[in-house]
Structure 1
């Protein structure tokens, strides 16, 4: 696992997307599990907060889209 520091104006989704190119529910859940006290910082994270990033695959598993004929 890798640690990164936030920059001014970061949110969890923005940080995840910048560092892992993912911001889906699975990635966000993994990040919250690794950083349980991060929510105390608020929705917009202050600069300089250390965040542990989860080890993720580069892309989430693709879901088969539903069609009207299924």
Structure 2
């Protein structure tokens, strides 16, 4: 598990993408579970919030089907 400190203007989505290279619902849920009370800051975090980044398995590649082919 990694611990980071937010910068002014960071968002949860941005933090997840930088830390885990994913910002899907599963990653967001794990982050909020690991950091109780984080949602109280709202969508944009102030500087200095200590956040524990959860360890998650790599997300499986999604198969895209083109209906027009």
Report the TM-score range of the alignment, normalised by the length of the smaller protein: 0.7 to 0.9
**Structure 1 residue 35: deviation in Å?**
1.1
Residue of structure 1 equivalent to 2:27: 27
* 2:18 is the counterpart of 1:18: yes
Q: State the distance in 2 between where 1:8 and 1:18 align.
A: 15
Aligned residue pairs total 68
TM-score (norm 2): 0.83
Which segments of 5 or more consecutive residues in structure 1 lack a partner in the other structure?
none
| 1:1-70 pair list within 5 angstroms | 1-57=1-57, 59-68=58-67
Q: State the distance in 2 between where 1:50 and 1:43 align.
A: 15
User: SS of the residue aligned with 1:52?
Assistant: strand
**Structure 1 residue 56: deviation in Å?**
1.8
Which segments of 5 or more consecutive residues in structure 2 lack a partner in the other structure?
none
